[in-house]
Amino acid sequence: MINPIQVSFRGMASSKAIASKIHQRADRLDRFHPDIVSCRVMFEQLHHRHLHGNLFHVRVDVGVPGGELVVGHERHDHRQYADPWVAVRDAFDRMDRQLEDFARKQGNRAKSHVVPQHGTVTRVSPDHGFIQTADGREIYFHRNSVVGEGFEGLEDGASVRFDLYEGEGVEGPQASTVRPIGKHHLPDVEVT
pLDDT higher than threshold 80 for residue 111: no
**Interval 44-69 mean pLDDT:** 80
* pLDDT tens, residue by residue, 170-189: 778 888 888 888 654 444 44
* pLDDT tens, residue by residue, 17-34: 999 999 999 988 888 887
pLDDT higher than threshold 80 for residue 119: yes
Please report, for the chain, the start and end positions of each structural domain, with discontinuous segments joined by +.
5-110, 117-180
CATH of domain 5-110: 3.30.160.100
pLDDT level of residue 39 (50, 70, 90 thresholds): very high
pLDDT score of 168: 67
pLDDT score of 43: 92
Residue 145 CA to residue 121 CA, distance in Å, equals 13
Q: Which residue has the higher pLDDT, 72 or 185?
A: 72
* pLDDT tens, residue by residue, 129-181: 999 988 888 999 888 888 876 788 888 888 888 888 766 667 788 888 888 88
Looking at every residue in the chain, the average pLDDT score rounds to 80
| Residue 77: count of CB within 10 angstroms of its CB | 9
Architecture category of domain 117-180 in CATH: Beta Barrel (2.40)
What is the DSSP secondary-structure string of 14-59?
Answer: --HHHHHHHHHHHHTGGGT-TT--EEEEEEEE----SSS---EEEE
Q: What percent of the chain has pLDDT over 70?
A: 79
What is the DSSP secondary-structure string of 132-151?
Answer: EETTS-EEEEEGGGB-TT-G
